[in-house]
Amino acid sequence: MKNTIEKALQKQKEAQADKQSGSFAPKSEMSTSLELSENVEAHHADFTPQKDIDVDAPIFDKKENIDRDDTHGDFFIDIERLDQNGHISLNGDRKQINEEYREIKRKLLANAFGTISKTLHNPNIIMVTSSRPSEGKTFTATNLAMSIASEQDKTVLLVDADVLKPNVLNTFGLEKRKGLMEYLTGEVDDIADVLYHTNIEKLKIIPAGKSHHLSTEFLASQKMHDTVDEFANRYPDRIVIFDTPPLIGINESAILANFAGQAVIVIEESKAKIADIKMCVERLNSDMAIGFVVNKSIHNDTDGSGYYGYYYSERSD
């Protein structure tokens, strides 16, 4: 397979000189407090602010030349509007949600690059899903991507793999463009043509593209397998986040689970049922590292902290 990711970066660099700045009004209306469960039990997290100036410094250039009207150019993400809509702040502001996502990403990064990474297939490929629709998975996926992009030595590729109901571009307030499905169906020859840089220096996006009645078959194809394999192995510092459809009642997510080493399942507090959570775990690869984010939480500790943790499925020898 050609070095398509390498070609994508080269194409984007060559196009950078012709861009002009623009802005968008994101349409995400979701706000949340976050939790994760430890072995299906809550574990307290320490959200004490870190004294690291680099972590909270702005990680984007407001004057970066990006043309919002160029359908083949880069994406301009309106950071300030996302901040106002309840997302993490990349302006250097100290927000509770920033600390919560730091706790979540620390575990994910440890799994991706630490000791446990040797026991996982594609540990740097993370699928973000939910049990059912409207539980906040895209909100979680986009915040995780932005939070990891603030790392000093990591890059992030966010792939909207929810080809049935894509929401990544809508959440960021970006116009629709060709994406993953156009590449898999052959309408676009090179993945480079649907891999877009953003004004967040270390974040790149591949949109879902248009829906297709054979989306399950295309996602299960050798072409998809080869593409994900290249994503996972070409760049040692890269995290790839797949925003996937809900797990219950949809085949695409179970297929995508075969590519990922980690899964983050977003569940809505007071809505998700224990049976749904068990069904989600059963539909995932038994060798994955599986974590939970409890979204739209109505519970907080007296000190304002949340919970974090992970459940690891049993592995047969």
Q: Write the pLDDT tens digit of every residue in 29-56.
A: 333 333 333 333 232 233 223 333 233 4
Give the span between the Cα atoms of 147 and 161, in whole angstroms.
20
Q: Which residue has the higher pLDDT, 312 or 75?
A: 75
pLDDT at 19 over 80: no
Average pLDDT over residues 131-151: 94
pLDDT at 189: 94
Helix axis angle, 96-113 relative to 137-149, nearest 10°? Answer: 80
pLDDT at 60 over 90: no
Q: Per mean pLDDT, which range of 13-27, 61-75, 169-183, 241-255 is the poorest?
A: 13-27
pLDDT at 57: 42
pLDDT at 173: 96
pLDDT at 274: 87
Contact between residue 154 and residue 148 where contact means Cβ atoms under 8 Å apart: yes
Contact between residue 215 and residue 246 where contact means Cβ atoms under 8 Å apart: no
Task: List, in order, residues 6 or more apart from 116 with CB less than 8 Å away.
Answer: 110, 123, 289
3-class state of residue 241 by DSSP: strand
pLDDT at 181 over 90: yes
Task: List, in order, residues 6 or more apart from 273 with CB less than 8 Å away.
Answer: none
Tokens of 72: 């083949």
Q: Per mean pLDDT, which range of 54-63, 113-122, 242-251 is the poorest?
A: 54-63
